[in-house]
Amino acid sequence: MTAKVAHKIVLHFPQQTWDRPIVCMLAKEFDLCFSISKAEITHEEEGLVVLDLSGAESEYKRGIKFLKEQGVRVEPLERDVTRVEAKCTHCGACLAVCPTEALDVDRETWLVSFDPGKCVACELCIAACPPRAMQTAL
Amino acid sequence: MSVKRTVAEINERIRKGQAVVMTAEEVARLVKEKGTRKAAAEVDVVTTGTFGPMCSSGAIINTGHTKPRIKMKKAWFNDVEAYCGLAAVDCYLGATELPESDPENRVYPGAFPYGGAHVIQELVAGKEVRFRAIAYGTDCYPRKEIETTVSLKTVNEAYLFNPRNCYQNYNCAVNLSDRTIYTYMGVLKPNLGNANYCSAGVLSPLLKDPLYRTIGIGTRIFLGGGVGYVVGPGTQHNPEVRRLPSGVPAGGAGTLAVTGDLRGMSPEFVVGVSFTGYGVSLAVGLGVPIPVLDEEVMRHAALGDEDLVTQVIDYSHDYPEMVARSLGEVSYAQLRSGSVQIQGREVPTVSLSSLPKARKIAARLKEWIGAGDFLLSEPAATLPGPGSGIAIKALHERARKH
Ligand code: SF4
Ligand code: SF4
């Protein structure tokens, strides 16, 4: 019996794949469970879907391989919270909400740093950042 | 011998490149080291700075006349409406104005991604913005509508006119309720989850001249990256509050009305900001030079974060309901430490005003003065201070008289 895995991932669909039922295939062919938390088509007509994907580890790997073969770019969600450095005023408002210290302040310079490695993509900082420097790629 | 200087003497030294200028943080250290008297003798000017959201801000814009002429009744910059109850092509674009299409708090908490403040920042950044106006048409102003783009290059005048900026001191906001609240003081987590404050403390302009001895009407200042002026006391200027023995107010007190040409400002110091669940505001960078006229001026200018205090206010009930209650007095040094004790609990603190930017502003002003590019101005009149009898009033509803 293989272990079960669950990941939050971001799928970027190139224009030519958007009309095919690729996500459904994950359930049909690989017996994976998914719940979509966001789906969007950007102006360039690139499809973008955020989903929780879970299932048996071996099937999960095959599913991801299948997605890539279809031309879908797969990324862990973590990578999709970014900071637009030029917009950050180093006010510190985000520090109240960040649960992981991915956002942290140096108490000498009072500059606020962002460590993507510690970020769990909870997105709490996005609404808390007044100049909207914290963004998702969504 | 006690130190005495006039603004004219200081300007003479600035012109000759001899003036000694230090930031408020630097003189706070200097006074600890050498004492007030020596510091006052050594230093001619102390520079201050602050950068934070200041809602009562906006821009007066004269777009120039169209052909045929129009007397604007309503006008929009990037769909954000500007007030047109002035002359034909004069209008006032308020920082907190929202586009009509904004869902506001109908989907709570609203995101408020764009408003007047963002338009102002784009203009300062040199961008073109969409402009639309409508009118009813008159014999002298026959045109009824116009749609075009404008920028700082195309308009006649465009200047910030902020009725209330630069609060002398400001509340530290907490939430005693059991749900998250969204305020102009940021997101406040339930049950004293965080304490948000908004003052540059040791660098804050009006905390360093608490009795308004040098800052007055006509004072030349750093505004938004360019040069501006104090127009007068800001709205809600409230000098008669409780003060510490040093003279500094223990809570919100004085304010400044300021103006300055948008041309010459920088999008680094004029920033549109969005407060989730509250709305849009303009973060403004403002710095004031303080001429060291005597030792008292230096004593005030050198006060440190540990000498400056504010009040902890509940924003879930007390603030909205106009209940005057402080949950405690905390110093800016305590707030800066990362947490404060409130009702026996250790509460993490969060600053909404940017200290790195405040430092940059005080340093920039120091550079300008040091280079002889920025002379100090003697106020044309002083601001109402303690003893003036000026106090903030609430609006009491009254039955209509027939
Ligand atoms: S998304 Fe969450 S974890 Fe990541 S920086 Fe923002 S608040 Fe911190
Ligand atoms: S809230 Fe936004 S602007 Fe302020 S420090 Fe955090 S990331 Fe920077």
Judged by average pLDDT, the poorest of A96-110, B59-73, B92-106 is A96-110
Distance between CA atoms of residues A25 and A53, nearest Å: 13
Rounded to the nearest angstrom, the distance between the alpha carbon of A92 and the centre of ligand 2 is 5
Closest residue in A to B274 (Cα) is: A130
pLDDT of residue A22: 83
Residues contacting residue B211 through CB under 8 Å, at least 6 positions apart: B247, B300, B385, B386
- Is the pLDDT at A76 greater than 80? The verdict is no
| pLDDT beyond 90 at A24 | no
Angle of helix A57-69 versus helix A22-30 axis, rounded to 10? 150
- Helices B355-370, B24-34: inter-axial angle, 10-degree rounding: 80
| Site from B25, B181, B352 to mutate, A interface, most A CB atoms within 10 angstroms | B352
Whether the per-residue pLDDT at B126 is higher than 90: the answer is yes
Contact A116, A79 (CB under 8 A): yes
Q: What is the pLDDT of residue B103?
A: 96
* Closest C-alpha to ligand 2, atom 6: A94
Nearest beta carbon to residue B350 from set A92, A109, A110: A92
- Predicted pLDDT of residue B250: 96
Identify each DSSP E strand in B288-359 by its residue range: 289-291, 309-314, 329-331, 339-342, 345-351
CA distance B200 to B45: 19
Q: Average pLDDT over chain B, rounded to whole?
A: 97
**B201: contact with A, CB 8 A cutoff:** no
Per-residue pLDDT tens digits for B220-270: 999 999 999 999 999 999 999 999 999 999 999 999 999 999 999 999 999
Which pLDDT does position A75 carry in this prediction? 79
- Beta-carbon separation of A89 and B351 below 8 A: no
Given this model, what pLDDT does residue B12 score? Answer: 98
pLDDT tens by residue, B165-205: 999 999 999 999 999 999 999 999 999 999 999 999 999 99
For residue B143, pLDDT over 60 is answered with yes
Are residues A111 and B356, on separate chains, in Cβ contact within 8 Å? yes
What is the rounded average pLDDT of the residues B350-369?
97
Using the atom order of ligand 2, give the atom closest to the CA of residue A114. Answer: 7
Q: Which positions ≥6 away from B34 have C-beta within 8 Å?
A: B42
Task: Provide the pairing of β-strand B270-275 with B279-287.
Answer: antiparallel
**Mean per-residue pLDDT, B47-76:** 98
Task: Please state, for a pLDDT cut of 90, what percent of chain A lies above it.
Answer: 32
B108 touching A (Cβ < 8 Å) = no
pLDDT-derived band of residue A49, with 50, 70 and 90 as boundaries? Answer: confident
Question: Which of A93, A109, A127 lies nearest to residue B352, judging by beta carbons?
Answer: A93
Q: What is the pLDDT of residue A1?
A: 54
Residues on chain B touching A93 (C-beta within 8 angstroms): 186-187, 196, 350-352
Closest CA to B125 of B260, B270, B273: B270
Closest residue in B to A108 (Cα–Cα): B356
CA distance B251 to B258: 21
Q: Which helix (H) or strand (E) holds B287?
A: strand B279-287
Best probe of the A interface among B51, B192, B339, B355, by most A CBs < 10 A, is B355
Contact A128, A96 (CB under 8 A): yes
pLDDT of A80 above 80: no
Q: Which positions ≥6 away from B310 have C-beta within 8 Å?
A: B169, B170, B171, B172, B197, B199, B250, B251, B329, B330, B332, B335
Instruction: Give the pLDDT band (50/70/90) at residue A138.
Output: low
Interface size, chain A vs chain B, as Cβ–Cβ contacts under 8 Å? 70
**Residue A40: predicted pLDDT:** 66
**Of the partner residues A111, A128, A131, the one whose CB lies closest to the CB of residue B186:** A128
pLDDT tens-digit map of B319-344: 999 999 999 999 999 999 999 999 99
In this structure, what DSSP letter does residue B70 have? B
For the CA of A90, the nearest atom of ligand 2: 5
Of the listed ranges A11-25, B211-225, B369-383, the one predicted with least confidence: A11-25
Q: Among A42-56, B31-45, B372-386, B387-401, whose mean pLDDT is lowest?
A: A42-56
Geometric angle at alpha carbon B369, from B365 and B370, rounded to 5°: 110
B291 touches chain A (CB under 8 A): no
Tell me the average pLDDT across B287-302.
98
Rounded to an integer, the average pLDDT of B13-22 is 97
> In chain B, positions 341-360, which contact chain A (CB-CB < 8 Å)?
348, 350-357, 359
| pLDDT the model gives residue A53 | 87
pLDDT number for residue A17: 64
Mean pLDDT of B215-219: 98
The average pLDDT across B114-131 equals 98
What's the whole-number mean pLDDT along residues A25-33? 89
Give the residue numbers of B annotated as catalytic, written as ranges. 140
Q: Whose CA is nearest to atom 6 of ligand 1?
A: A125
Between CA B40 and CA B45 the distance in angstroms is 9
Q: Is the pLDDT of residue A6 over 90?
A: no
Query: Is the pLDDT confidence value at A43 over 60?
Result: no
Q: Cα dihedral sign for B304, B306, B307, B309? A: positive
Query: How far is the C-alpha of B258 from the C-alpha of A137, rounded, in Å?
Result: 38
- What pLDDT score was predicted for residue A23? 84
Whether the Cβ atoms of residue B190 and residue B180 lie closer than 8 Å to each other: yes
Distance of alpha carbon B18 from alpha carbon B11, whole angstroms: 10
Position B293 pLDDT exceeds 60: yes
Residue of B nearest to A86 (CA): B268
Q: In ligand 1, which atom is closest to the CA atom of A100?
A: 3
